[in-house]
Every structure is written in C-alpha cells, then in structure tokens.
Amino acid sequence: MVRKATVHDADAIVELIMLAMGDLPYKFVATKDKVIATALLKRFVTQTGNQYSLSNIFVDEQDQKVVGAINAYDGGEIERLRKPFFDYICKNFHKGGFEMELESESGEFYIDTVAVDPRHQGKGIGKNLILEIINYAKDLGFKKVGLLVSNPDAKRLYEKIGFTKVGSRNLLGNTHEHLVYHIN
C-alpha cells in the first residue's frame, strides 16, 4: 500500500535513501562513516522545509513494514529546499563550502530518490511508487515528472512506465541521464 510518509517511517526511509544514493551521502559528510551519513539524512528527513523532508516522501508498506520510498517535489523549488541542507553540511562538514549542480528545473515535478528494499524488488513496488508520484504531480497541476538516472536497470523501469530521455546532467562528477514523463 502506497501512502504519505510519517515520522514513524523515518528510520526505514533513511535506509532506503542511503540505498538509492550510493556514495552521495558520504560526499555530503566528507567521510565513509555510515553512522554519520545516516544521522545527517535522518536529521533532515524528520525536519520540514528541505528536499529530504517527510512531506516530500511516499512509502510503500507491506505487512506493516516500509519496503519502498520515493522522494519527490517541485523541481522549481530545488534551491529553496536544498538551502537548509547545504547550509548545515557547509557548517559541519565542508568549511570551504560545498557546490552541487542543480538536478531539477522549474515546471518539472522532480523525483529525487526512489528505492525498494532488495528483498522486495521485482514485485512492482518501485513502479507503484512512481505511478503514485505521477498522479500526485498531475493533481498538483504539473505537466511533467523528471528524474536523473545512471542505473541501467532503473532506467529500463522508467522507460517502461513512459519516461523518455531529454538530455544528460553532471552531478558531483557523475553523468546521469535526464528522463521526463509527460503528463496528459
């Protein structure tokens, strides 16, 4: 069952975000310490007004356990949503500042992260989360949903749903394909 996230989901959501982001959380905290990276994400998942906030997250719950999560928001708000997070990491981990390219754009409802517990992959959970976001974006009046992808398996799923490549973007030294789903 897909639903809006609550504070009770925070620990599971953080684990799923860590899974989706690969090495990116460690770049945020300038260390390979999982405890520190996890604590950073939990801090922001449980706060409002930032890109990782629970208010931007839907989860899939099976047998009273969160097995999937998707984080998405108005792409035109990325700088405002990112500011508290970047201010914090610059103050605490990157004294010289931290620069990261914009990953979304105005007019696009942006999927930041989507992840499914590996034990539950292949059951349609990721697809259901993405379809929920497409419907949510449509209800908000958006005409397109965008995301960045570098994982070939994830890209195939997005393309099956109807996403198409519109370009490429670099994000912290890695090239990602920019895919968009056009809402009718």
> How many Cα atoms sit within 13 Å of 126 on the Cβ side?
22
pLDDT in tens, 7-21: 999 999 999 999 999
Q: How far is residue 68's CA from residue 49's CA, in Å, rounded to a whole number?
A: 22
Structure tokens at 125: 């959970």
Q: How many helices (H) and strands (E) does the chain have?
A: 6, 7
Residue 75: DSSP 8-state: G
Mean pLDDT by 10 residues, the chain (184 residues): 98 97 92 97 97 98 98 97 93 80 89 97 97 98 97 94 95 87 96
Report the length, in residues, of the chain.
Answer: 184
* Alpha-carbon distances, residue 64 vs 8, 105, 174 (angstroms): 11, 35, 36
Q: Where are the domains of the chain?
A: 2-143
CB 163 within 8 A of CB 180: yes
Residue 116, C-beta contacts closer than 8 angstroms, at least 6 positions apart? 16, 60, 67, 68, 125, 126, 129
What is the pTM for the complete model shown?
Answer: 0.94
User: Which superfamily, per CATH, for 2-143?
Assistant: Gcn5-related N-acetyltransferase (GNAT) (3.40.630.30)
Q: Token pair for residue 159?
A: 């393309």
Nearest to 149 by CA among 125, 165, 173, 131: 165
Within 10 Å of residue 30's Cβ, how many Cβ atoms? 15
